[in-house]
Amino acid sequence: MELTFLGTSAGVPTRTRNMTSILVNLQQPTASAIWLFDCGEATQHQLLNTVFHPGKLDKIFITHLHGDHLFGLPGLLCSRSMQGNPQPLTLYGPKGLREFVETALRLSGSWTDYPLTIEEISAGHVFSDDHYTVTAFALNHPVECYGYRIEEHDKPGALNAAALKAEGVAPGPLFQQLKQGLAVALEDGRVINGQDYLSAPTPGKKLAIFGDTAPCPAALSLADGVDLMVHETTLEHAMAEKANSRGHSSTIQTAELAKAAGVGRLVVTHVSSRYDAAGCAELLAECRRIFPETQLAEDFVVVTV
């Protein structure tokens, strides 16, 4: 998986940071191509500065209905339609997402020429296919807000072709069955169990993308053991009380969560517009004092999981 941060500011844009949005390229040739997490104002403009096309978007996950995470959605949906792309698109988000989208399209005399599905979610299972499972966790924010845990399914182990050839099994259709861990009968009457010739499965990657939140119990379950955790760090630690009162987290609170959850890496985003470059460097330093494997997201930065 590869994440491209299209917007990393909190509340309002700055000259260098757009409103919140993260593009996730699954990099699976047989899976959905691109997912989007949140769609703040001007997200479609940010997409123009990447190699990605809105028509490739398969799913959009909205964490909550605050404008800095949502106001870019109607424009993106309409532009995608005007570009003539017929591919279906599914939106996931809290209750009210359907009303917001349908009202914006109706009052503006707009429509989509592609199948558009809107799924209003609650905490728990959201989506799964042959490659991924997505689960939503309720967070602590003034409006209904979710974080999403994306888990790639484990990949089957490699087939020991050399050992099979030594047993007299020729490459061909049987190899495909053995690769699936099945037992097959050979022409000479022997039964070969594919499980005996497979290496251990390769664990799938795990990613946690948080919406806005003050510290809460669900956060630990959402982030538990993920390879990469993306979490807001709206304010510095000295302003933790103010951050929490508005449903946000401070630097050290975020870093402490990453440490407690045993995550591989932390990327912090959703930075208050009060911070210039020097202020952002101090935010990062505060996080790294607790959790060294921390990166501060910038617009258009690419992070590989």
**Among 38, 58, 68, 154, the one annotated catalytic:** 68
Find the helix packing angle between 73-82 and 97-107, rounded to 10°: 60
Active site residue 212: no
Contacts of 10 (CB under 8 A, 6+ apart): 20, 68, 212, 232, 234, 248, 270, 271, 272, 273
**Structural element, H or E, at residue 23:** strand 21-25
Which pair of tokens denotes residue 264?
């591989």
Number of CB atoms found within 10 A of residue 49's CB: 12
Determine the 3-state secondary structure of 77 from DSSP.
helix
Q: How far is CA 282 from CA 54, 246, 278, 279, in A?
A: 35, 22, 6, 5
Nearest Cα to 249, choosing from 262, 265, 233? 233
The H helix count followed by the E strand count for the chain is 9, 18
DSSP 159-187: B-HHHHHHTTPPSSHHHHHHHTT-EEE-T
d(CA 44, CA 188): 62
Alpha carbon 229 to its chain centroid, in Å, reads 9
User: What is the rounded CA–CA span in Å between residue 14 and residue 234?
Assistant: 14
Active site residues: 68
